[in-house]
Amino acid sequence: MTITSAIVLYAVIWFMVLFIALPIRLRTQGDMGEVLRGTPAGAPAEFAMKRKLLWVSAISAVLWVFFAGVILSGWISPRDLDWFDRMEPGVSASGDKDG
């Protein structure tokens, strides 16, 4: 895994966790009963974005370590995900083709 792919993997995980975490513990103006004029009732009333971003970053780091470890260990490879046998046979260490 190159540094670029590691950064991209972290970014993808971070945004996925962010979009999952955004609605968690969200209190809307409609829930609070204090809808400000000119805003929809579904607008956030109290939104602690800084705290949520810190949690998202921490959870993403843990998930990134797990997924990067799986990728680097070779436990799962792209060939394992080739369910329709579209990849060409691999080459073994002796130079013979598998399969």
User: Residue 94 has what pLDDT?
Assistant: 57
* CA nearest neighbour of 88 among 96, 77, 79, 75: 79
Asked whether residue 7 carries a pLDDT value surpassing 70, the answer given is yes
Backbone angles phi, psi at 24, to 5 degrees: -70, 130
The residue ranges of DSSP E strands in the chain, in sequence order, are 27-28, 44-46
pLDDT tens by residue, 20-59: 999 888 888 887 888 878 888 888 888 888 999 999 999 9
pLDDT tens by residue, 88-97: 776 655 555 5
For residues 45 and 28, the answer to whether their CB atoms sit within 8 Å is: yes
Return the ∠ at Cα 23 (arms to 22 and 25), rounded to 5°: 105
SS3 label, residue 33: coil
